[in-house]
C-alpha cells in the first residue's frame, strides 16, 4: 500500500483507536509496581503515541502533498532526475505519453465530454532533464468539429517537495478548468502539471545550477517546446502562462519575469520572492553573484529592464507569512512599466491546499484573459 493510500491512513487511525482503547482497558491490570507491569505501561503508551502520530502525519501528508511515496519519505527516490548523456531521440522523442485518466467527477468517460488527463514523460533537449508530468486536455481538444483548433496552455507547478498528482487530485486544476469553461467563464485551456523538483530530492528553485541541473532552461525552453511539438498549443508569442503555489509560485513569477517572450503571464499563489539557501537547496550559485542577484525578484525588477509580462500574487491578511512582502512586491511592480501586477488578498487563509483551492478559479480566469494563444480553425481567437 502506498504512502498516500486511503487504506494506509485508515489502518493508522484504526490502530490508534484500538491501542487507546486497549490502554484504558488494560491500565488497571498494569497498575502494579512489578517490572513486567511497568514495561507493559511503557509499551502501551509508546505504541499508542506512535499510532496517533502516524495517523496525524499521514493526514498532513495527504492534505499538503509533502511526500508521494515511501521511497520519497525515506530519501530513497531515484526514479527521476537529471539525465546524463541522454539521446534526444530516445524513447520516441522529447515527450512520451505513458498513461491517461478521465477527469472526474466533472463528466462522462468520453474525452470529448469530460476531457482527459494524460501522464507524460518529458526529456529536455537542452537541459537533459527528464521529468514526469500530467497534461489536461479539455473536451474541445477531442471534438471532431474542432480538430484544427489550437489552445492556450499553462504550466502548473506544485510547492516543494510536492507531487504532481496533488495538482490533479487535491487542488483539482483539471476539474476547475473544465467547470469554468463549461460555464463560459474561461476558454478551454491545456494544463501541464508537474512539480518544480525535477532533480529530486534537491530543491533547485528553478535556477540553472552551475555544474548541476539546468532547471530554468528546462521550464523556459525544453518543456514548452516538447509540449508544443506534441499537442495543439497556440503558436503565437502569448500562448503560454505559468502558475504555482509556494515554491512553484516563486518559480512562476520568476519564469514570467525572466522569459516574457515565452510566458505572457505568471501567477504565484502564496509565493516568496527570493531563492532560499538551506540544506534542501545546497549551493545554488557556486559564488556567482550575478546568478544569485538574478534569482531575486526584488533585485531583478529593480535593476533590469521591466519585462512585458503580467504577474499575479496572492496572500491573506491572517494566516500567511508573506503578506507584508506581497504588499511591498505589488508596490514595486506598480512602478515598473510595462510589467503589470494583479493580486488576490484573502481576509484569512493558511499556507495550505484549502486556501489555494479558493484562489485557483479566479487565477485561471485571470490567466485566460491574458493569454492569446488559442485559435479556431479560421484563425480567429476562440472563446467557447
Which tens digit of pLDDT belongs to each residue from 180-198? Answer: 999 999 999 999 999 999 8
Give yes or no for a contact between 260 and 307, defined as CB atoms under 8 angstroms apart: yes
| Tally of CB atoms within 10 A around 359 | 23
Closest by Cα among 215, 173, 216, 144 to 367: 173
Report the pLDDT value the prediction gives residue 67, as an integer from 0 to 100: 58
Q: Which residues of 255-288 are buried (b: 16+ CB within 10 A; e: fewer)?
A: bbbbbbebbbbbbbbbbbbbbeeeeebeebbeee
Give yes or no for a contact between 274 and 251, defined as CB atoms under 8 angstroms apart: no
Give 331's contacts (C-beta < 8 A, 6+ positions apart): none
Report the pLDDT value the prediction gives residue 274, as an integer from 0 to 100: 95
Q: How far apart are CA 348 and CA 370, in angstroms?
A: 27
Q: Is residue 224 predicted with pLDDT exceeding 80?
A: yes
Segment 89-105 mean pLDDT: 62
Percent pLDDT > 70 in the chain is: 84
Amino acid at each position: 500500500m502506498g504512502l498516500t493510500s486511503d487504506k494506509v491512513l485508515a489502518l493508522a487511525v484504526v490502530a490508534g483507536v484500538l491501542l487507546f482503547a486497549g490502554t484504558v482497558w488494560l491500565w488497571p491490570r498494569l497498575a502494579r509496581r512489578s517490572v513486567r507491569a511497568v514495561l507493559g505501561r511503557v509499551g502501551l503508551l509508546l505504541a499508542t503515541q506512535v499510532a496517533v502520530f502516524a495517523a496525524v502525519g499521514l493526514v498532513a501528508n495527504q492534505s499538503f502533498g509533502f511526500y508521494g511515496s515511501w521511497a520519497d519519505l525515506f530519501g530513497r527516490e531515484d526514479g527521476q532526475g537529471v539525465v546524463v548523456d541522454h539521446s534526444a531521440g530516445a524513447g520516441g522523442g522529447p515527450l512520451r505519453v505513458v498513461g491517461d485518466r478521465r477527469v472526474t467527477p466533472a463528466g462522462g468517460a468520453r474525452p470529448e465530454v469530460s476531457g482527459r488527463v494524460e501522464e507524460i514523460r518529458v526529456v529536455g533537449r537542452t537541459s537533459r532533464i527528464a521529468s514526469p508530468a500530467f497534461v489536461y486536455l479539455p473536451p474541445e481538444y477531442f471534438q471532431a468539429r474542432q480538430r484544427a483548433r489550437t489552445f492556450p496552455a499553462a504550466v502548473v507547478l506544485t510547492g516543494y517537495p510536492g507531487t504532481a498528482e496533488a495538482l490533479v487530485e487535491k487542488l483539482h486544476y483539471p476539474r476547475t478548468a473544465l467547470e469554468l469553461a463549461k460555464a463560459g467563464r474561461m476558454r478551454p485551456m491545456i494544463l501541464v502539471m508537474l512539480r518544480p523538483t525535477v532533480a529530486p530530492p534537491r530543491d533547485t528553485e528553478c535556477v540553472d545550477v552551475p555544474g548541476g541541473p539546468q532547471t530554468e532552461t528546462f521550464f523556459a525552453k525544453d518543456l514548452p517546446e516538447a509540449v508544443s511539438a506534441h499537442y495543439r498549443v497556440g503558436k503565437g508569442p502569448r500562448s503560454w502562462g505559468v502558475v504555482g503555489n509556494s515554491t512553484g509560485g516563486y518559480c512562476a513569477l520568476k519564469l514570467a519575469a525572466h522569459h516574457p517572450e515565452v510566458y505572457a503571464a505568471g501567477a504565484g499563489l502564496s509565493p516568496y520572492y527570493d531563492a532560499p539557501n538551506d540544506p534542501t537547496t545546497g549551493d545554488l550559485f557556486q559564488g556567482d553573484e550575478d546568478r544569485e542577484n538574478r534569482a531575486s525578484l526584488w533585485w531583478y525588477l529593480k535593476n533590469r529592464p521591466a519585462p512585458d509580462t503580467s504577474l499575479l500574487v496572492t496572500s491573506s491578511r491572517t494566516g500567511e507569512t508573506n503578506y507584508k512582502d506581497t504588499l511591498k512586491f505589488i508596490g514595486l511592480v506598480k512602478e515598473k512599466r510595462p510589467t503589470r501586477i494583479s493580486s488576490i488578498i484573502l481576509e484569512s487563509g493558511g499556507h495550505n491546499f484549502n486556501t489555494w483551492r479558493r484562489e485557483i478559479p479566479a487565477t485561471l480566469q485571470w490567466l485566460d484573459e491574458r493569454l492569446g494563444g488559442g485559435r479556431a480553425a479560421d484563425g480567429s481567437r476562440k472563446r467557447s
